[in-house]
Amino acid sequence: MDKKKVAVPLVCHGHSRPVVDLFYSPVTPDGFFLISASKDSSPMLRNGETGDWIGTFEGHKGAVWSCCLDTNALRAASGSADFSAKLWDALTGDELQSFEHKHIVRACAFSEDTHLLLTGGFEKILRIFDLNRPDAPPREVDNSPGSIRTVAWLHSDQTILSSCADIGGVRLWDIRSGKIVQTLETKSPVTSAEVSQDGRYITTADGSTVKFWDANHFGLVKSYDMPCNVESASLEPKFGNKFVAGGEDMWIHVFDFHTGEQIGCNKGHHGPVHCLRFSPGGESYASGSEDGTIRIWQLSPASHDENDSLPGNGPTGKVKVSADDVAQKIEVLRISKEGKTAEKDKATDA
């Protein structure tokens, strides 16, 4: 009997709570990297190609809702339910700065030039921190119509994009005036907004719809109805001919960008899919789920048994690499100190 052709993901264990955000760095001289945010309060850094665990950033006292890496993957940032956004050294794991807020931080993003950090959350305030003067008060843009869910930069850091957790639409802000210059209208709150690598499209997920917008003229280019409510969507960055979407049905759906036809469906998660992102070269994409795992899927599936799975190298469980390799990885990013476990148990959730 012919084997069914199914995608076999690399399964990355390590988080003890749901994975709620993923971010790939651009390709650097050392390869590319994947950072994950989880309600377990500890963002994790991995090799973006293999899923191998590099290290864990320890310091937050509550669920981490958002994470990102700068262009060179030298620094990381995270936004948390502990009312802070933190800046990290991605080589050593050291906390470089903690930016205190008055409420939960849901989103953070480095500017393209890496000098600025943008945050947003329950306060309905967009804050821009100058990382060259981290002790200086941030610039505040405080007329967001709702609690901020996602943020991003575009137009060479001249425009900010934000969506709200409680109302529909994506707002585009002029960085100089601090005013909304355009609103991309959606029926439901936008849970995922991604600017394509070439800067042409904004990909949004709202309710059971994935939309693609012209990032320069802001017109709606495509709108596709999904088979279920989706929480995240990502456009393939190299050719722009496919996109992936995932949500409450626990599956990752692959679609043709031009027609909206479903061309693949990957099953494996045991809980809703919260986040999906393509790798910078488009050869694979990562999914994060309520089940606490990250799965890295190759875009073109190979022939395998339906129940096969390839374990990624996590901080616990089976490791495919030698002890020497692990020791080298540990030297790259200082591993979390002992005695953090008790603190983690007390970490707040949101």
Q: Is residue 96 part of a domain?
A: yes
Q: What's the domain count of the chain? A: 1
Q: Is residue 119 part of a domain?
A: yes
Q: Is residue 76 part of a domain?
A: yes
Residue 78, both tokens: 């995270």
Q: Is residue 200 part of a domain?
A: no
Domain residues for the domain of 69 are 19-143
H or E stretch covering 194: strand 190-195
* pLDDT recorded at residue 5: 63
* pLDDT recorded at residue 326: 37
Q: Is residue 279 part of a domain?
A: no
The domain that contains 71 carries what CATH number? 2.130.10.10
DSSP characters over 2-17:
PPPB---PEEE---SS
* pLDDT recorded at residue 7: 76
* pLDDT recorded at residue 300: 72
H or E stretch covering 342: helix 341-345
Q: Is residue 295 part of a domain?
A: no
Neighbours of 221 (CB within 10 A): 14
Q: Is residue 172 part of a domain?
A: no
* pLDDT recorded at residue 312: 52
Q: Encode the chain (350 residues) as per-residue pLDDT tens digits.
A: 444 567 799 999 999 999 999 999 999 999 999 999 999 999 999 999 999 999 999 999 999 999 999 999 999 999 999 999 999 999 999 999 999 999 999 999 999 999 999 999 999 999 999 999 999 999 999 989 999 999 999 999 999 999 999 999 999 999 999 999 999 999 999 999 999 999 999 999 999 999 999 999 999 999 999 999 999 999 999 999 999 999 999 999 999 999 999 999 999 999 999 999 999 999 999 999 999 999 999 987 433 344 444 455 455 433 333 334 433 443 444 444 433 433 434 344 44
* pLDDT recorded at residue 196: 97
DSSP characters over 107-157:
EEEE-TTSSEEEEEETT--EEEEETTSTTSPPEEE---SS-EEEEEEETTT
Q: Is residue 178 part of a domain?
A: no
Asked whether the whole model's pTM tops 0.75, one would answer: yes
